[in-house]
């Protein structure tokens, strides 16, 4: 009589183990949850710096910068206000170039670009571009006939020919 009792206990334990394993697998996330998501876009971070060491007063938000990802089949230009913390522009992988917004040029400032402002955007990568606007020196020349003004409004006689 002991044999059937042992047999019944083993069957019950095996059934319990199988049931618990089934419930664990049922409650577990699917295999696709662990699959790596491959990005299809890249990002350009545009940082705007302004140097006002010659009397300029503009701030990064006074400037507008554009990312041009135009290719053979598209004409994509994205412009945004300058930001010293950086603006992020997402694009499909493509060649790109960052520039000052041509529709809002700023006189009195020179523009320089870091190495990351042109090249190719790769899927999943972030390129960092720093645009620096530096105010330029503009001397004021006294004109005793009409008042003061920037040097560009006066013409000097040509002495040497």
57 falls within a domain: yes
Q: Residue 128 domain-assigned?
A: yes
In a domain, 80, yes or no: yes
pLDDT of 161 over the 80 cut: no
Q: Where residue 61 sits, what CATH number does that domain have? A: 2.60.40.1140
Domain count across the chain: 1
Least confident among 4-8, 50-54, 87-91: 4-8
Please indicate, yes or no, if residue 143 is contained in any of the structural domains.
no
Task: Give pLDDT tens digits for 56-102.
Answer: 999 999 999 999 988 656 678 889 999 999 999 888 888 999 999 98
Q: Provide the whole-model pTM.
A: 0.63
Does residue 62 form part of some domain?
Answer: yes
pLDDT more than 90, % of the chain: 41
Residue 81's Cβ-count burial label (10 Å; 0-12, 13-18, 19+) is middle
Torsion 28-30-35-39 (CA) sign:
negative
CB 52 within 8 A of CB 11: no
Which of 131, 124, 117 is CA-nearest to residue 91? Answer: 124
**Using only C-alpha atoms, what is the Rg of the chain?**
33
Q: Does a structural domain hold residue 19?
A: no
The answer to whether residue 144 sits within a structural domain is: no
Residue 95: closest CA among 120, 117, 67 = 120
Q: Give the structural domain span for 118.
A: 42-135
């Amino acid at each position: 009589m002991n044999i059937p009792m042992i047999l019944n206990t083993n069957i019950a334990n095996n059934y319990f183990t199988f049931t618990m394993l089934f419930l664990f697998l049922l409650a577990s996330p699917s295999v696709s949850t662990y699959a790596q998501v491959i990005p299809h876009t890249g990002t350009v971070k545009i940082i705007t710096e302004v140097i006002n060491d010659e009397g300029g007063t503009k701030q990064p938000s006074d400037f507008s910068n554009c990312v041009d990802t135009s290719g053979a089949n598209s004409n994509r230009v994205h412009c945004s206000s300058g930001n010293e913390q950086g603006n992020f522009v997402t694009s499909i992988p493509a060649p790109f170039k960052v520039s000052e917004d041509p529709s809002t040029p700023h006189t009195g400032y020179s523009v320089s670009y870091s190495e990351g402002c042109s090249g190719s955007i790769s899927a999943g990568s972030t390129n960092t571009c720093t645009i620096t606007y530096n105010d330029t020196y503009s001397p004021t020349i006294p004109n005793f006939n009409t008042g003061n003004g920037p040097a560009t409004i006066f013409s000097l006689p040509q002495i040497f020919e």
